[in-house]
């Protein structure tokens, strides 16, 4: 205990020297922090990096491993009350792309909790089987939420493709996957939150209680508070999944079928698929190597043999959930739905697996990439929401134009129903009833090929965005990254005034999530607060 207090004192003294914190360090020691405020070089180094590896911020002054929401509240309260202040950013699994969870000259809250052997841990998931929801710590990974809820035969309704993300992280953006057409994004499946605001207040919020904060925080990019608890809606979990892929050479047929399938959201379970996604195939290497469980190297699929339009194929990815007790009807249900689709005959690829294995499918790909040294590389990802009316223009200009049959990674494309998204949240989507996610999930490799280089892919992302502007395609970035005030105002559009109002109410000193670069911290100079944005 003496050692941890010494480390904490050292960290606080560092804050005092660097940013002029006007509290005596013994005051913070008496605040009752049960976690650990660390200045360990490995902690600080980790907190200055993220999955994107595109930016390397100046290291934070310290890293808090909280044991409770109260620890986070005490830290933020100290920042808010100090004369000069310091920034605070929450970090989940570090899967940000552009340094959104980083903060220089501040403290990163490592939401995974206390370090091993350092004492108390954040609360574990608590499943309420009768009510069909689960209370989870904001730093909990979705894979652990799944494991906890499956013990009761339940599971969350809406997912992300990758489960090693934190609950607070995805809820601060939206959280989307192939179930979103039916259940909406993850933020549409939350009953209640506990949030520590930028004033250090720990508030419970929901539709009925502190509703303005509730809606602002969901998709709010961490600007109004740190999510410390979320109450997630559950449903009975299926046991198995029929996983199907079919190919298209015609983009109009591909999108027409996708849009038809998501229009079935209101039908009975037997009359619709449970998951609808898709991806673009623009080179032989991707179709024969990516997720090869479908496209066997022994029987490679040749793009040229399928007469693709513009050298590009499109893959529709769909699933049907079922229980062992209903296995006898699954074939008939799938066959009935597939008959209505206009894919290339004889390109149906099917596999059958456990529900948990389907949901955790990307992690298996991660392990393979790690073994080859291809995971910890720069990821210049670009995620866009594209309005339905312009998706054909996007296809011609980007998939068949700018990309030039060189993709450097998966390119996902699938539609969603706007009415499944709560307009009161902070997320911005195109103003059409149906819009598409287009996710260019590329990896930059230092292998001597120009088209794989970080500079090439970054410039190409810029070219794609300029094309959309010039072509009048009003895209909205998902997991947005901007660096100027004007760009952020343009991104939020009609929602900006409300977004700014909520910021001034719940984080008036702009302490939180400064790595997003939405607002500049406003700290006091002498006895007055410096205004910024």
Q: Is 161 a catalytic residue?
A: yes
- Annotated catalytic residue, options 277, 309, 333, 507: 277
The residue among 62, 97, 114, 72 whose CA lies nearest residue 169 is 97
Give the integer Cα–Cα distance in Å for 8 and 68: 17
- Annotated catalytic residue, options 65, 95, 183, 452: 95
CA 438 to chain CA centroid, nearest Å: 14
As beta bridge partners, residue 19 has: none
- Annotated catalytic residue, options 40, 161, 201, 422: 161
Q: Is 151 a catalytic residue?
A: no
Identify whether the C-beta of residue 407 lies closer than 8 Å to the C-beta of residue 445.
no
Q: Is 486 a catalytic residue?
A: no
Give CA separation, 414 vs 28, 59, 222, 353, in Å.
Answer: 49, 38, 26, 22
Give the integer Cα–Cα distance in Å for 31 and 145: 31
Long-range interactions of 113-116: CB distance < 8 A, separation 24+: 113/35, 113/65, 113/66, 113/67, 113/137, 113/139, 114/34, 114/35, 114/36, 114/65, 114/66, 114/67, 115/36, 115/38, 115/43, 115/65
As beta bridge partners, residue 417 has: 434
Give burial (CB, 10 Å; 0-12/13-18/19+) of 304. exposed
The answer for residues whose C-beta is within 8 angstroms of residue 182's C-beta and 6 or more apart is 262, 265, 272, 274, 420
Q: Which residues are catalytic?
A: 95, 161, 277
């Amino acid at each position: 205990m003496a050692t941890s207090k010494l480390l904490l004192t050292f960290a606080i003294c560092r804050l005092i020297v660097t940013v002029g914190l006007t509290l005596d360090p013994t005051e913070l020691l008496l605040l009752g922090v049960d976690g650990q405020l660390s200045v360990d070089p490995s902690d600080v180094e980790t907190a200055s990096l993220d999955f994107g590896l595109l930016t390397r911020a100046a290291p934070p002054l310290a890293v808090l491993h909280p044991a409770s929401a109260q620890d986070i509240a005490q830290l933020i309260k100290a920042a808010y009350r100090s004369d000069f202040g310091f920034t605070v950013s929450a970090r989940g699994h570090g899967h940000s792309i552009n340094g959104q969870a980083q903060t220089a000259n501040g403290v990163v809250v490592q939401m995974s909790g206390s370090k091993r052997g350092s004492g108390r841990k954040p609360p574990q998931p608590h499943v309420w089987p009768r009510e069909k929801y689960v209370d989870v710590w904001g730093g909990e990974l979705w894979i652990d939420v799944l494991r906890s809820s499956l013990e009761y035969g339940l599971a969350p309704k809406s997912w992300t493709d990758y489960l090693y993300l934190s609950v607070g992280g995805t809820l601060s953006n939206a959280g989307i996957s192939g179930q979103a057409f039916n259940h909406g994004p993850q933020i549409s499946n939350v009953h209640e939150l506990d949030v520590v605001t930028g004033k250090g207040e720990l508030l419970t919020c929901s539709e009925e209680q502190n509703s303005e904060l509730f809606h602002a925080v969901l998709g709010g990019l961490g600007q109004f508070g740190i999510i410390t608890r979320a109450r997630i809606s559950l449903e009975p979990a299926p046991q198995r999944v029929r996983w199907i892929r079919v190919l298209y050479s015609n983009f109009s047929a591909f999108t027409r079928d996708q849009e038809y399938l998501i229009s079935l959201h209101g039908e009975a379970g037997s009359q619709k698929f449970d998951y609808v996604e898709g991806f673009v195939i623009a080179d032989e290497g991707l179709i024969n190597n990516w997720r090869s469980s479908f496209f066997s190297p022994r029987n490679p699929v040749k793009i040229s043999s399928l007469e693709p339009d513009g050298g590009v194929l499109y893959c529709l990815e769909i699933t049907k959930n079922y229980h062992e007790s209903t296995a006898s009807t699954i074939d008939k249900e799938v066959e009935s739905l597939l008959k209505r689709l206009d894919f290339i005959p004889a390109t149906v690829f099917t596999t059958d697996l456990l529900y948990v294995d389907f949901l955790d499918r990307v992690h298996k790909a991660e392990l393979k990439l790690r073994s080859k040294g291809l995971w910890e590389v720069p990821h210049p990802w670009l995620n866009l929401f594209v309005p339905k009316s312009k998706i054909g223009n996007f296809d011609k200009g980007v998939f068949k134009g700018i990309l030039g049959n060189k993709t450097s990674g998966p390119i996902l494309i699938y539609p969603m129903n706007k009415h499944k998204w709560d307009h009161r949240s902070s997320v911005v989507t195109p103003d059409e009833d149906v819009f598409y996610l287009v996710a260019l999930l590329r990896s930059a490799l230092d292998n001597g090929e120009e088209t794989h280089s970080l500079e090439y892919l970054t410039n190409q992302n810029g070219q794609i965005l300029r094309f959309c502007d010039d072509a009048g395609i009003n895209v909205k970035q998902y997991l947005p990254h901007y660096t100027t005030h004007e760009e952020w105002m343009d991104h939020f559009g009609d929602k900006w005034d409300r977004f700014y109002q909520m910021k001034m109410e719940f984080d008036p000193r702009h302490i939180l999530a400064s790595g997003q670069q939405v607002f500049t911290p406003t700290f006091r100079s002498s006895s007055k607060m410096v205004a910024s944005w």
